[in-house]
C-alpha cells in the first residue's frame, strides 16, 4: 500500500510540479514570455541574465526590474481514485524575479538577479480526516553577470549562478502506516556564456550555453521522485536563435535549444525545444506579442511503466506539451514600462486503470522595470 501512495505522490507532484518530470519552463519575464520565450537573440531587458547575458552589453542605463510568474496547474479525474479517494489535484505558485544592472565601464555592463528556474507545489484535495499529501520543489537561482560590447555589432556575456535546490514533502496516510515529513536544501553552481551578433540593423543572432549544475542533496529514501533521492543534476543546455525585423514595426524571433536532461536521471532523455514569437509595435508606447513553444516528454519509453521510478501511474502523452502565449508591453515614460503575458498549454488526457485524468497549465507573467536616466 505504501507503494501505491508513492504513486499517488508522483501523480500529484509529477503533474503539478514541472521540475519532477518536465524541463525548466519557468522562465522569467513577461516580454520574453510574450515572444514564446524565443528571447535569446533579443534579451533587451534584465531577464538577459537568464536568456543571454550578452544582451546586457547593449543596456547602458542603470535599471531595476521586478517580475512575477504565476502558475495554475489544475487536474481532475472523471471518478474517484480508489487508492486515496480523491478526484481533484491542484498546484499553483507565484515565483519572483528581481534584477539590477549598471554600466561598469564605457563598454561593459554588470548585473545581478534572483529568480526561480523550476518548481512548484502540489497537493491532493478531498482526503479523509487525518490524511495529508502535499509537497513543494524549486530551483532558486542567485546570479551575477558581466557583458562586454566588443564591437558595435558583437557582444559577449558571462554569468555565474548559485542554484539552490529545495524539496519539501508531507505525506500522512494513517491507514497505510505512512508518515513522511522532510524538508531539504542544497546548492550547486552553474556557468553561462552568451554571444550576440548583429550583422545588420534588422537582424540579430545569438548563442548561449549553460553548463548545468550538480547538487549533492541530503539523502532522502522517501523522496517522491526517486531520481532525486540523493543527487540532483541540473541539465546542461545550449540555445541558438535569431530575431529579424520583417517590417519597421514588426519583429519575428525563433530559437532551438537542447536540454541534456539525461544527466539528471537515467530515466530521462535529452530533448529539443522549439520557440517562435512576434512583436507588433502598435504605437510608440504599446507593443503586442504572440508566441509558441514546445516542452516535450523527458521520460524514456523503457521507464514509463517502471514501478521503482514511479512512472507507472501515467502514460507519456501528458508530458508532450505545447504552449501558446500572448502578451503586451506598455511604456509609460522613457524610464518606466510594464508588461503582461499569458500562456496556455495544449495537453492530452491521461488514462490509468479505467480513470481519465484531465489537466491544463495556465501561466501568467507580469513585469515592471525602471531606468535611471
- Residue-wise pLDDT for 252-310, tens only, equals 999 999 988 877 767 778 889 999 999 999 999 999 999 999 988 777 766 655 554 44
**Is the Cβ–Cβ distance between 186 and 76 less than 8 Å?**
no
Q: 175 or 1: whose pLDDT is higher?
A: 175
Q: What pLDDT score does 340 carry?
A: 97
Residue 63 pLDDT > 90? yes
In what helix (H) or strand (E) does residue 2 lie, and over which residues does it extend? helix 2-16
pLDDT, average across residues 94-118? 89
Q: What percent of the chain has pLDDT over 90?
A: 46
Comparing CA positions, the residue from 190, 149, 183 lying closest to residue 169 is 183
pTM of the predicted structure, to 2 decimals: 0.84
Q: Does domain 2-372 have CATH number 2.40.160.60?
A: yes
Taking only the tens place, the pLDDT of each residue in 132-147 is 777 777 788 999 999 9
Q: Distances from the Cα of 26 to the Cαs of 111, 328, 365, in angstroms? A: 20, 19, 10
Residue 111 to residues 25, 44, 149, 154, 343: CA-CA distances in angstroms?
23, 13, 14, 19, 28
* Average pLDDT estimate for 319-342: 93
Question: Is the pLDDT reported for residue 3 higher than 60?
Answer: no
Quote the pLDDT of residue 240.
98
What is the enclosing helix (H) or strand (E) of 322?
Answer: strand 321-331
Task: Average the pLDDT over 15-40 and give the result.
Answer: 72
pLDDT of residue 7: 44
**Mean pLDDT confidence for 313-338:** 84
What is the pLDDT, as a whole number, of residue 83? 52
Mean pLDDT of the chain: 81
Q: List C-alpha distances in Å: 347 to 27, 78, 82, 344.
A: 19, 17, 25, 10
pLDDT tens per residue across span 77-91: 666 555 545 555 666
- Strand partners for 158: 146, 193
How high is the pLDDT of residue 173?
A: 73
Amino acid at each position: 500500500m505504501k507503494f501505491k501512495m508513492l504513486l499517488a505522490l508522483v501523480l500529484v507532484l509529477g503533474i503539478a510540479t514541472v521540475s519532477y518530470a518536465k524541463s525548466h519552463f519557468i522562465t522569467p519575464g513577461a516580454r520574453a514570455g510574450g515572444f514564446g520565450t524565443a528571447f535569446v537573440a533579443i534579451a533587451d531587458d534584465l531577464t538577459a541574465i537568464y536568456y543571454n547575458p550578452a544582451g546586457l552589453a547593449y543596456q547602458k542605463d542603470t535599471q531595476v526590474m521586478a517580475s512575477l510568474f504565476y502558475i495554475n496547474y489544475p487536474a481532475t479525474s472523471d471518478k474517484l481514485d480508489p487508492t486515496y479517494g480523491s478526484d481533484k489535484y491542484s498546484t499553483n505558485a507565484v515565483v519572483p524575479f528581481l534584477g539590477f544592472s549598471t554600466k561598469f565601464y564605457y563598454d561593459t555592463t554588470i548585473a545581478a538577479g534572483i529568480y526561480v528556474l523550476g518548481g512548484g507545489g502540489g497537493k491532493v484535495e478531498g482526503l479523509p480526516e487525518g490524511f495529508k499529501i502535499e509537497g513543494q520543489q524549486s530551483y532558486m537561482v542567485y546570479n551575477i553577470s558581466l557583458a562586454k560590447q566588443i564591437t558595435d555589432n558583437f557582444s559577449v556575456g558571462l554569468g555565474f549562478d548559485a542554484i539552490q535546490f529545495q524539496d519539501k514533502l508531507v505525506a500522512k496516510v494513517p491507514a497505510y502506516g505512512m508518515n513522511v515529513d522532510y524538508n531539504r536544501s542544497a546548492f550547486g553552481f552553474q556557468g553561462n556564456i552568451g554571444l550576440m551578433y548583429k550583422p545588420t540593423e534588422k537582424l540579430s543572432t545569438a548563442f548561449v550555453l549553460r553548463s548545468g549544475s550538480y547538487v549533492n542533496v541530503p539523502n532522502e529514501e522517501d523522496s517522491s521522485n526517486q531520481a532525486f533521492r540523493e543527487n540532483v543534476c541540473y541539465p546542461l543546455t545550449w540555445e541558438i536563435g535569431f530575431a529579424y525585423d520583417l517590417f519597421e514595426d514588426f519583429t519575428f524571433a525563433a530559437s532551438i535549444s537542447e536540454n541534456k536532461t539525461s544527466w539528471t536521471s537515467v530515466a530521462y532523455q535529452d530533448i529539443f525545444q522549439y520557440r517562435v514569437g512576434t512583436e507588433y509595435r502598435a504605437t510608440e508606447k504599446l507593443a503586442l506579442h504572440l508566441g509558441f513553444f514546445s516542452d516535450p516528454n523527458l521520460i524514456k519509453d523503457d521507464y514509463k511503466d517502471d514501478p521503482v521510478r514511479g512512472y507507472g501511474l501515467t502514460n507519456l502523452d501528458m508530458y508532450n506539451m505545447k504552449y501558446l502565449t500572448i502578451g503586451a508591453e506598455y511604456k509609460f515614460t522613457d524610464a518606466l514600462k510594464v508588461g503582461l503575458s499569458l500562456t496556455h498549454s495544449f495537453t492530452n488526457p491521461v488514462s490509468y486503470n479505467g480513470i481519465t485524468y484531465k489537466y491544463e497549465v495556465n501561466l501568467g507573467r507580469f513585469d515592471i522595470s525602471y531606468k535611471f536616466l
